[in-house]
Amino acid sequence: MPGDAFRVCDGYDPPKGKGDGITTGTMLFGLAAKERDIRRGVVNADSRKAIEACDAALADPLLLPAFTLRRAHLMQARAFHQIGAGAFDEALRAIDAVDALKGEFDPIYFERGLGLGNRLLRAYVLIETGRTGEAGALLDAIDAERAYAASVRRTTEVLRHRIDPDLGHQLGRMRAMAPVVPSMALMAFKYAMLDGRIEQAVELGAGVSFAKPQMRGNWTAQNSDDSADREMQLEAMYAGFYAYALAASGKTREARAHLAVVRAGLDAAMAPPPPSPDGRPLSKSARNAFEMRAVLAKSGLEQMEGWEKIIALREEAPGLDLQGLLDRLKAAGPEAGVVLIDLVGQLGQASQADKRAIIEEIRARHKRERNREFATDLAHLAPMMPRAETEATQVRLGDSYFLTGEGFTLRGDKDDPGDWTVRFTHGLATLPTLEEHAMLAAATATKAKGYDAMLVQSQRGLERTLHVTGWGSRQDVNSGREAQMRVRMVHKAALPADIAGAQWRLLDADTVIADLATLPRR
């Protein structure tokens, strides 16, 4: 099929008329071009065929001389596929060739888009060829430049894991990332618990929240359960993990208080809703919602009871041998597997050699699982590759969402004056750019509301698609991207009790504003 070479090479449709097929599409029957939200398809996994397709696309007359950006992107895609074929020297030369085109573009936009992609590919090649020191320095530079772009930070960490999978080092990196990428705090807490690093887990787990950013209007996040019931269920599950860490570190009183707070919430969730003021019975939907919530709350209470048994088991471990522990684990529940290394370490009736052997076997299994979680081949890297940036993809200074459908919005929580959802939307901007602008908007709002710091509770990036239906048909319209954050605005000198141990996760509002003051804008 004509144009297939372009799709196979870089995942985008072929140029058409005056549209390059990557940032601009055609209008007025092909007589003019307009910037559009064009999305990349699946990149071909057969590297040899993809290289041939790239060569064909670069020689295709549809690729007009004016389409410099598309040409550079095809060249970068060829480098990507050369890496897949193991042709590392050729890939580095191809990356150099794309870098040599920098003068054809605005240097700021090039570095934030194609240039960033080049550096990620170069780092991958350097890792594969054993030049890990150079790769690490390259990733350090990327992190410094895009410190507040969560999606970029996640990509660099995936590559760093290929350089240095040591758990201790990775926990340190995750801790450094967590103020901007809050999911790293929970992941690091899990890894620390699995490895029996209790004191570290107590610190990493402080302030973890499952409150997601609130969606706008009737928009929904695909493959994401944002319900309050789901949040309650996750918090109950996590409460047991964290209470164990507190108890194991000697903070028994804090562990009991932590469980009591969560248990009170679960008990409240199981209470039937009050009758209607007008005496009418509850609607069927309200009854169904309560019944579902009660089931989840009951499950949460059962999990917490299980964790209380596991905490009690740890206190008894000095009097147990290996068989005694195994017998007790059967009654403790599956959650005990998460803290098995710590429990084995507490056994008082087993030899040190036996305990070391079991712990090393468990650690080896955990390492294999962690490596699978961070596995990165080109198939994993492909969707992480940054999109090209142009002047049109930059945020316009002063955009108002309510007037243009682009820009930022704030939505508060009626129960907590410091709890806010920050959303930044744009029809063409890349996700890393929107993440940075959302962070800047959050810091600016924090100052405006009289606070001096913020804790990012959750964060996500979305590609927006508008489903248009009518007259028996349906059309999906690409509608740009949105970066979302749920933040707690706080006073550093007077933190709320529930995040008192999470000072290390705070972002100083003035520092964020100063760091992002030079973000490119139109």
C-alpha span between 37 and 23 (Å, rounded):
7
Let me know how long the chain is. Answer: 522
Q: Which residue has the tokens 């028996």?
A: 472
Residue 485's beta-bridge partner residues? 422, 459
pLDDT of res. 233 = 77
DSSP code for 495: -
Question: How remote is the C-alpha of 215 from its chain's centroid?
Answer: 17
SS3 string, 270-307, reads HCCCCCCCCCCCCCHHHHHHHHHHHHHHHHHHHHHHHH
- Tell me the Ramachandran region of residue 46: left when phi exceeds 0, alpha when psi lies from -120 to 50, beta otherwise: beta
Please give the structure tokens belonging to residue 52. Answer: 């041939």
pLDDT of res. 28 = 47
pTM: 0.90
Please give the structure tokens belonging to residue 399. Answer: 């955009």
Going across the sheet that includes 473-490, the strands are 407-413, 416-426, 473-490, 453-470, 507-508
For the chain, the helix, strand and coil percentages under 3-state DSSP, each to the nearest 5 = 60, 15, 30
Please give the structure tokens belonging to residue 496. Answer: 């709320």
The three-point CA angle 323-326-331 to 5° equals 135
Please name which of 346, 342, 347, 345 lies closest in space to residue 323, comparing C-alpha atoms: 347
pLDDT of the chain, 522 residues: tens digit per residue: 556 899 999 999 999 888 888 887 755 445 445 677 777 877 767 899 999 999 999 999 999 999 999 999 999 999 999 999 999 999 999 999 999 999 999 999 999 999 999 999 999 999 999 999 999 999 999 999 999 999 999 999 999 999 999 999 999 999 999 999 999 999 999 999 999 999 999 999 998 888 888 877 666 666 665 667 777 778 888 888 999 999 999 999 999 888 888 888 888 888 888 877 777 777 777 778 888 888 888 888 888 888 888 999 999 999 999 999 988 888 777 788 889 999 999 999 999 999 999 999 999 999 999 988 887 777 778 888 888 888 888 887 555 555 456 788 888 877 788 899 999 988 888 999 999 999 999 999 999 999 999 999 999 988 877 766 666 667 777 778 899 999 999 999 999 988 888 999 999 999 999 999 998 876
Residue 484's beta-bridge partner residues? 423, 460
C-alpha span between 446 and 491 (Å, rounded):
10
The domains located in the chain, with CATH, are 4-165 (1.25.40), 209-373 (no CATH), 391-515 (no CATH)
DSSP code for 348: S
C-alpha span between 128 and 209 (Å, rounded):
37
pLDDT of res. 225 = 59
Please give the structure tokens belonging to residue 154. Answer: 């996640």
Residue 483's beta-bridge partner residues? 424, 461
Please give the structure tokens belonging to residue 278. Answer: 């007008």
Please name which of 506, 507, 508, 500 lies closest in space to residue 206, comparing C-alpha atoms: 500
No. of helices (H) and no. of strands (E), the chain:
21, 7
C-alpha span between 123 and 128 (Å, rounded):
9
DSSP code for 395: P
Inter-residue contact 56 to 102 (CB < 8 Å):
no
What is the residue type of 136? Answer: G
Inter-residue contact 451 to 489 (CB < 8 Å):
yes
C-alpha span between 105 and 103 (Å, rounded):
5
C-alpha span between 202 and 248 (Å, rounded):
9
Please give the structure tokens belonging to residue 464. Answer: 């927006």
C-alpha span between 311 and 430 (Å, rounded):
47
Inter-residue contact 246 to 518 (CB < 8 Å):
no
Inter-residue contact 158 to 143 (CB < 8 Å):
no
C-alpha span between 288 and 42 (Å, rounded):
41
